Structure 1
Amino acid sequence: MSLLIRPATLEDIAQIEAIVEAAYSPYIERIGRKPAPMLDDYASQVLARRVHVLADQQALSGFVVLIDTEEYLLLDNIAVSPAFKGQGHGRQLLEYAERHAREAGYPTIRLYTNEAMSENIALYTRRGYVETHRVEENGLRRVHMSKVLG
């Protein structure tokens, strides 16, 4: 199966939302409410050209939402369908985000995750991200992380 990362289209919305539902639903009980990515407006994100999908010819396995700022690239969301867990799809999307940031000339890439998603924090730490601070935003306890790009 040949996978490629491409800009998302409006035709991808249903699959993106299905991935979000499958990937984030397990966290609802742990957090006490739906995680922020489950509340996002993906049509708006796609129209803003912020979403890139990992796809073969039939289906999407994951996606990443990247937001340009003046100082850094924000990795706003990355999600992989649980059906593809452990197959390197998340790593491929993360590497794409970092490559995109470098090519755009950003010195750093930043992200945040809910502090209850401890496995995500551990994964990002293994990938070279460092915690910069923790805050409560919109009723969610978030861990902000950053990676200096070389």
Structure 2
Amino acid sequence: MSIRPARAGEAPRLAAIVEAAYGPWVPIVGRRPFPMQDDYAARIAAGQAWVLEDAGAIAGLVVIEREADHLLLDNIAIDPARQGRGDGRALLDFVEAEARRLGLAEVRLYTNLLMERNIALYARRGYAETGRRQEQGFARVFMAKSLSGCAARAPR
């Protein structure tokens, strides 16, 4: 397995993984979660989409945004056929390593309030809830993880 930047032309595969991964949440949330509405071609062009590749096939993806003082984990999705193999852990490890590489001392994320399983997973990974609020019609839970031992430096 390897993690690399997504390439132009891979947006349809990323969107398909997101559709499959987030599809079960639609009846729970009552509408399509925000990642299902994202523009993956634009994310790729901006250098924000990364893929987990195994044997030449894209197994998952992560969308990250660099901010001045933290890395925002905007979206993470694994092909449902591969869930339970540690792919999500590998992508979370990558996000945290990328934040450290960039000299950022924190990773932030948000998830839907009704996605309790995801909130629990992030809490087990050391993310702490920092707030709850309505945004773009979604009830969101905001979380952050301090990356100890990482001194933040000025953005390049």
Q: What TM-score do the two structures reach when normalised by structure 1?
A: 0.97
Amino acid at match of 1:27: W
Asked if structure 1 preserves the Cα contact closer than 8 Å seen for 2:109 and 2:142, the reply is yes
Asked if structure 1 preserves the Cα contact closer than 8 Å seen for 2:9 and 2:41, the reply is no
Task: Answer yes or no: is 1:97 the counterpart of 2:95.
Answer: yes
What SS does the corresponding residue of 2:114 show, helix, strand or coil? coil
**CA-atom RMSD in angstroms:** 0.7
**Separation in 1, partners of 2:56, 2:141:** 35
Q: Deviation of residue 9 (structure 1)?
A: 0.6
Q: Deviation of residue 57 (structure 1)?
A: 3.6
**Unaligned stretches of 5+ residues in structure 1:** none
Asked if structure 1 preserves the Cα contact closer than 8 Å seen for 2:7 and 2:44, the reply is yes
Q: Deviation of residue 99 (structure 1)?
A: 0.2
Q: Deviation of residue 22 (structure 1)?
A: 0.3
1:25 to 18, 23, 37: 23
1:11 maps to 9
Query: How many residues are matched?
Result: 148
**Separation in 1, partners of 2:53, 2:128:** 29
1:109 maps to 107
1:144 maps to 142
What SS does the corresponding residue of 1:144 show, helix, strand or coil? strand
1:45 to 30, 43, 46: 43
Q: Deviation of residue 58 (structure 1)?
A: 2.9
**Separation in 2, partners of 1:121, 1:32:** 18
**Separation in 2, partners of 1:67, 1:5:** 16
